Structure 1
Amino acid sequence: MADICLLIDTPDDFSFTESLEYLSRSADECMFHIRDGRVTRAIEVGGNPVLFGMEQHPDGILVNIDGEVEGAAAGVERFIRDWLDLARDLVPFYELSERDPLLRDAVHRHQGLRVVGIPDLFETFVWAILGQQITVAFAYVLKRRFVETFGQAIEAGGVTHYLFPSVETVAGLEPEALRELKITARKSEYIIGVARMIADGELTKEGLLALGDDRAIEQRLTAIRGIGPWTANYVLMRCLRSPDAYPAADVGLHNALKLVAGLDRKPTLPEVETFAEPWKGWRAYATFYLWRYLGSEMEQG
């Protein structure tokens, strides 16, 4: 039985249903479970594991929290608000999309969707590195192996939840430990390298945000071994919450633009940049909606 219950208010233009559909896109997702419209997840609050469940409510998001960890309610609410980008005012983006023929249909179909983030910096890096130059489906398989091997398991109601592997745990590994999971040698080195930088305090979310603008953050990130512009912009979008991050080299984005622009080929990189000119300030949101639109088209087709 849950020990704490809270109701999180949400913006009028937020859609829990759209968020749930996005979260449900892979059966190999291992960081949370979805059943009957309810999402359950384990996170760390003040160094302690906390299990929570969330579901739609007429007045927002209803959250149940197991346990009596000090600060659990505040920590879970902070996490959910960040995870679902609830503080973002999307009115300017929606106004922009109405004027843009490439975005209009995607936004109409998925109205209320927010960029679902990854609040933890290390988790974001790992997911981005694992996803480099492979399919999303295989990236999910690798993430599951990684999490189930090195993460802390929490049993509740016959279901196993996992905390993402800590930077301290991964920083102490050698690449061979990740190679056993069929992660490439270079990606294994990149992941451990980032873990060691974060564990040493050399790389922090607060430090990156303090740089003040996307360009400075991208330059800082691409100076790290294994982090190119695509990965840097992915981190900017999903963790650092820049609404204008633009992973221009993303294959999924190219396929989505091919679809909405009615092209008979994938767009060139200069075309991808040109398409995004009217979206300046909101390119991360434009990308996220195009990804979602492409995914829903593939599901229907």
Structure 2
Amino acid sequence: MKNTNEPFESSHLSQSGSNSNLSFSYENDGSDLRLRVPTEFSFEENYNHLSTATNESLYTLREGRIYKAIAVGEEDTVVEIAAEGEHYLRIRFIEEPPVDSPTLREGVARYVHDWFDLGTDLKPFYEMAAGDPLLKEAVVSFYGLRNMGIPDLYEAVCWGILGQQINLGFAYTLKRRFVEKFGRFIERGGERYWLFPTAEDIAVLTPEDLSAAGMTTVKKCEYLVDTARLIASGELTKEQLLQTRDVKQAEKRLVQIRGIGPWTAHYVLMRCLRMPDAFPIDDVGLHHSIRHVLGLDAKPSKERILELSAGWTLWESYATFYLWRFLY
């Protein structure tokens, strides 16, 4: 139980990513952590978005709080994330003795900051979107929503591969199979909180191992293992992709990998690398969202989407995410 009389101490840290010049701070009272959130942030909107994933295996939602296992290096923990007023997120460590590890505390703060994309200033996006025919309704309906990310590169690539050419419900089923077969869990209060398998976990397996576990087609199993081996060996890293500082160059690197096409590449660049101009223009969900907003009889052509998105420069990623929210 937190001693409410214990003062919070602030720690200021650099933030890696596409906005690498940004920094963030977290407050630490020896028990809980606290992150300050931007004005353009709504915990409720982000919680509602997370709640649409009815078969999610990597977090649990209960009574307005998010419970999630987080790995920092060799250390694992489970945290509760909740709103504290309008200006903070409070992070509480679940059923653990005082967490004295500065590395773990900093890692958890970084993870949550990245997961909620708290380092991005959404004011320019909202200003642009207010006059955009496709986005003006979305930014009113979902004000404060963040591009909830996938900080781990292998997890992001896996989710992109698993989701290829199947409906979202089945993709979540495959993800749960993958996590519960090859991942690990932390138990708290009789409940299991799962961690996604690492690239190192999968790199030592064969495609047949994954196929035997019900992981869809043999080809997808090959892609999952091949990518794991690239990441585990250091041939593919998040840092390398970030250093390109160019969405086209990063896409070029990713599509050289078997099983990763333009859609998967842009999905990874959008959700993991936070490249603002990542744009999965061929995404079926995006097409359905545009059709819904404009009341079209058929999905728009690629040429029409390019016309409609002409004003989104450097906000293509957020525009896509907000339009997706109409569907899920």
Whole-Å Cα distance in 2 between the matches of residues 233 and 69 of structure 1? Answer: 39
Aligned AA (1:42) = A
Match for residue 50 of structure 2? 23
TM-score where L is the length of structure 1: 0.95
Match of 1:36 among 63, 70, 89: 63
Q: How does 1:49-60 map to 2 (within 5 A)?
A: 49-58=76-85, 59-60=87-88
Match of 1:65 among 93, 99, 109: 93
Match of 2:181 among 149, 152, 156: 149
Give the secondary-structure state (helix, strand or coil) at the position aligned to 2:160. helix
More helix by percentage: 1
Aligned AA (1:286) = A
Whole-Å Cα distance in 2 between the matches of residues 11 and 287 of structure 1? Answer: 21
Whole-Å Cα distance in 2 between the matches of residues 268 and 4 of structure 1? Answer: 53
Aligned AA (1:28) = N
Give the secondary-structure state (helix, strand or coil) at the position aligned to 2:326. helix
Asked if structure 2 preserves the Cα contact closer than 8 Å seen for 1:147 and 1:162, the reply is yes
Task: Give the CA deviation at 1:178.
Answer: 1.4
Whole-Å Cα distance in 2 between the matches of residues 195 and 243 of structure 1? Answer: 26
Match for residue 299 of structure 1? none
Structure 1's consecutive aligned runs of 4 or more residues displaced over 6 angstroms after TM superposition are: none
Whole-Å Cα distance in 2 between the matches of residues 182 and 8 of structure 1? Answer: 37
Match for residue 302 of structure 2? 269
Aligned AA (2:93) = I
Equivalent residue pairs, number: 295
Aligned AA (2:68) = R
Whole-Å Cα distance in 2 between the matches of residues 167 and 41 of structure 1? Answer: 20
Match of 1:86 among 110, 114, 118: 118
1:176 partnered with 2:208:
yes
Give the secondary-structure state (helix, strand or coil) at the position aligned to 1:293. coil
Where structure 1 has 5 or more consecutive residues not aligned to the other structure, the ranges are 296-301
Whole-Å Cα distance in 2 between the matches of residues 203 and 184 of structure 1? Answer: 24
Task: Give the CA deviation at 1:26.
Answer: 1.8
Distance 1:45 1:69, change over 3 A: farther
Comparing 215-224 and 181-190, the one that deviates more: 181-190
Task: Give the CA deviation at 1:214.
Answer: 0.5
Whole-Å Cα distance in 1 between the matches of residues 131 and 187 of structure 2? Answer: 49
Where structure 2 has 5 or more consecutive residues not aligned to the other structure, the ranges are 3-29
Identity level (%) = 47
Match for residue 298 of structure 1? none
Asked if structure 2 preserves the Cα contact closer than 8 Å seen for 1:48 and 1:69, the reply is no
Aligned AA (1:278) = G
Task: Give the CA deviation at 1:72.
Answer: 2.0
Aligned AA (2:201) = T
Whole-Å Cα distance in 2 between the matches of residues 113 and 26 of structure 1? Answer: 16
Task: Give the CA deviation at 1:69.
Answer: 6.0
TM-score where L is the length of structure 2: 0.88
Match of 1:252 among 279, 282, 285: 285
Q: Deviations over 1:183-221 (max 9, x none)?
A: 211110001000000000000000110112101000011
Task: Give the CA deviation at 1:140.
Answer: 0.3
Whole-Å Cα distance in 2 between the matches of residues 46 and 294 of structure 1? Answer: 36
Asked if structure 2 preserves the Cα contact closer than 8 Å seen for 1:110 and 1:293, the reply is no
Match of 1:120 among 152, 156, 171: 152
Distance 1:182 1:207, change over 3 A: closer
Asked if structure 2 preserves the Cα contact closer than 8 Å seen for 1:4 and 1:73, the reply is no
Give the secondary-structure state (helix, strand or coil) at the position aligned to 2:228. helix
Give the secondary-structure state (helix, strand or coil) at the position aligned to 2:230. helix
